[in-house]
Structure 1
Amino acid sequence: MTKNTITLIAASLACALTLPLAAATPEQDKESFQAYFKSRFPNVPQDDFKNGAYAIDPIGRENWEAIEEFPPYENAISSGETMWDTPFANGKTYKDCFPDGPAIAGKYPYWDRERGMVMTLPLAINDCREANEEKPLGYKKGPLADLEAYITYQSRGQITNVEIPSDDPRALEAYEKGKHFYFARRGQLNFSCAHCHLGNSGSTLRTEILSPAYGHTTHFPVYRSKWGEMGTLHRRFAGCNEQVRAKAFKPQGEEYRDLEFFLTYMNNGLELNGPGARK
């Protein structure tokens, strides 16, 4: 497949995914999205997309697999487990909020019909804390990222399966807002998320290979060498916005929750393998 052909396919996909609502359903969007990446990277097994850039970067993958022998997120998992088991001041624990135990990452994000909004795992964690008269945690890093690391580690192997209720137009509206965000240009560089991670996925930017969007949500939170610590998905969203010289949105605000709803739906069928380690 030539570079020009790939460019045309990417442009066609971008057009298809931004058609008016009546022209494409979320399921059709997902099929087009996943088919594009399978065509762009035909030698990558479908399930391997959960590994992000390391699905398409053999040299980077070797280094990553070596790091995974002694993963830098182990301390975060241990810290998160301690948090999960430590009672709040009122004697209750996270298990009182999440009776199914810590292996719950596969349930998020989901459409909360009663609240009329997308519910994410970090938001649910802080809801639990506030319900037990504890202070909410910061959404980008720190203790919340550690607790999320423990939960996602316990959830490894679960399959991404976001549902958009067809009988609630508000859910579809949130999905459409997330989709619009993904393809909207912003910042001084006038880039969209899709510019890097759809049309230019697999290309090299400075010394890094741009990861495909297919699989982006499977491995968070991540330990990034650049950060020297764990970070959440919304921290990464904010960083991408800032890299194109746009003002970042509030983590766990409506914009990023809707974006997470759309992007995770695009990854339906992929296995969760977080927490992850990245450059």
Structure 2
Amino acid sequence: MKTTLTTIAAACVGALLAAPLLASTPAEDQEIWQEYFKKRFPKVEESDFANGVYSIDPVGRENWEAIEEFPPYEAAISDGEEMWNTAFANGKGYADCFPDGPAIAGKYPHWDKDKGMVMTLPLAINECRQANGEEPLKYFKGPIADLVAYIAYESRGQVINVEIPDDPRALEAYEKGKEFYFARRGQLNFACGSCHISSSGSTLRTEILSPAYGHTTHWPVYRSKWGEMGTLHRRFKGCNEQVRARAFEAQSEEYRNLEYFMTYMNNGLELNGPGARK
């Protein structure tokens, strides 16, 4: 059954969202999604949602801003830049795959018509490597996070503008990502939206739950909990495991479609990665 925001609104975001949901095109979903958060957090400037939980947590923001004076992801940016500028064994490099240079994060994720799938930046990086005879990088952490951190840094300020083209397969990928986001799973029976829509701004244990609007703007991140850099799909995996659900592989169709949906919801916000989080 096709998942529509109409069918999940009452459970996840209440009457504020349920009332206007007579149709459910991606553009209508996006408008309703963004208006919901602007009304839920009226004191937050829309552009500030790109800062995640620190847009609504003044105490946490002070600590975060202090950390950003000497950001823990600086080494990752430096290592990623070195990777970008180091030639492959065949003499070619990343610039041969990405001729527009490293400031390309704003182009991802996107629908790849020829492949019939959502293409993410880490997946494109590994396709580049394999096309040039190099081993693919592991997707959760390590060199892939460093390289994406450098690309994200070079792409800061780009405005998210994910498109869903006139291709039924692209719309299906979007719908699958949306369905994943609102599906309850695991022994705790939580959906992504349970925490980050209807409970956003609430406190769970000692953590303030961040609003979903802005979640994809600042990756990869250095998390104090990890003690290292990690990718967006590593976070997806961790969230699934926290609700005691089976996690999917990084760059699985499920996670790529989820990233496609979530990033589309953030259209209009600026990229500001890499980031630092608890």
Range of TM-score over shorter length: over 0.9
One-letter amino acid of the counterpart of residue 249, structure 1: F
Tell me the CA shift for residue 11 of structure 1.
Answer: 2.2
One-letter amino acid of the counterpart of residue 63, structure 1: N
The residue aligned with 2:181 is 182
Tell me the CA shift for residue 12 of structure 1.
Answer: 3.7
Please say if residues 30 and 265 of structure 2, whose CA atoms lie closer than 8 Å, have aligned partners that are also in contact.
yes
Other structure's SS at 1:260 match: helix
Please say if residues 106 and 272 of structure 1, whose CA atoms lie closer than 8 Å, have aligned partners that are also in contact.
yes
1:162 correspondence with 2:162: yes
How many pairs are equivalent?
269
Please say if residues 122 and 139 of structure 1, whose CA atoms lie closer than 8 Å, have aligned partners that are also in contact.
yes
One-letter amino acid of the counterpart of residue 184, structure 1: A
Tell me the CA shift for residue 9 of structure 1.
Answer: 8.5
Other structure's SS at 2:115 match: coil
Runs of 4+ aligned residues of structure 1 deviating over 2 Å after TM superposition are 11-17
Please say if residues 162 and 265 of structure 1, whose CA atoms lie closer than 8 Å, have aligned partners that are also in contact.
yes
- In structure 1, runs of 5+ residues without a counterpart are 1-6
Candidates 11, 15, 21, aligned match of 2:14: 11
Cα gap change, 1:130 to 1:8, in 2 (>3 Å): closer
Tell me the CA shift for residue 23 of structure 1.
Answer: 2.7
Please say if residues 9 and 36 of structure 1, whose CA atoms lie closer than 8 Å, have aligned partners that are also in contact.
no
Q: Distance in 2 between matches of 1:73 and 1:88?
A: 25
Q: Distance in 1 between matches of 2:170 and 2:158?
A: 23
Please say if residues 14 and 183 of structure 1, whose CA atoms lie closer than 8 Å, have aligned partners that are also in contact.
no
TM-score by length of 1: 0.94
1:197 correspondence with 2:196: yes
What CA deviation, in whole Å up to 9, does each residue of 1:120-151 have, x standing for no partner? 00000000000000000000000000000000
The residue aligned with 1:114 is 114
Q: Distance in 1 between matches of 2:252 and 2:18?
A: 27
Please say if residues 12 and 194 of structure 2, whose CA atoms lie closer than 8 Å, have aligned partners that are also in contact.
no
Cα gap change, 1:178 to 1:227, in 2 (>3 Å): same
- In structure 2, runs of 5+ residues without a counterpart are 1-9
Tell me the CA shift for residue 252 of structure 1.
Answer: 0.2
Please say if residues 13 and 33 of structure 1, whose CA atoms lie closer than 8 Å, have aligned partners that are also in contact.
no
The residue aligned with 1:4 is none
What CA deviation, in whole Å up to 9, does each residue of 1:229-260 have, x standing for no partner? 00000000000000000010111000000000
One-letter amino acid of the counterpart of residue 233, structure 2: H
The residue aligned with 1:3 is none
Identity of aligned residues (%): 75
Q: Distance in 2 between matches of 1:176 and 1:9?
A: 17
Tell me the CA shift for residue 13 of structure 1.
Answer: 6.2
Other structure's SS at 1:44 match: coil
Cα gap change, 1:180 to 1:174, in 2 (>3 Å): same
What CA deviation, in whole Å up to 9, does each residue of 1:39-94 have, x standing for no partner? 00000000000000000000000000000000000000000000000000000010
What CA deviation, in whole Å up to 9, does each residue of 1:198-246 have, x standing for no partner? 0000001111100000000000000000000000000000000000000
What CA deviation, in whole Å up to 9, does each residue of 1:166-212 have, x standing for no partner? 2x100000000000000000000000000000000000111110000
Q: Distance in 1 between matches of 2:172 and 2:11?
A: 28
The residue aligned with 1:92 is 92
Other structure's SS at 1:199 match: coil
Please say if residues 217 and 263 of structure 1, whose CA atoms lie closer than 8 Å, have aligned partners that are also in contact.
yes
The residue aligned with 1:239 is 238
Matches within 5 A, 1:214-229: 214-229=213-228
Please say if residues 13 and 32 of structure 1, whose CA atoms lie closer than 8 Å, have aligned partners that are also in contact.
no
The residue aligned with 1:271 is 270
Q: Distance in 1 between matches of 2:262 and 2:229?
A: 21
Please say if residues 178 and 261 of structure 1, whose CA atoms lie closer than 8 Å, have aligned partners that are also in contact.
yes
One-letter amino acid of the counterpart of residue 108, structure 1: Y
Q: Distance in 2 between matches of 1:71 and 1:170?
A: 40
Cα gap change, 1:91 to 1:118, in 2 (>3 Å): same
The residue aligned with 2:152 is 152
What CA deviation, in whole Å up to 9, does each residue of 1:149-175 have, x standing for no partner? 000000000000000002x10000000
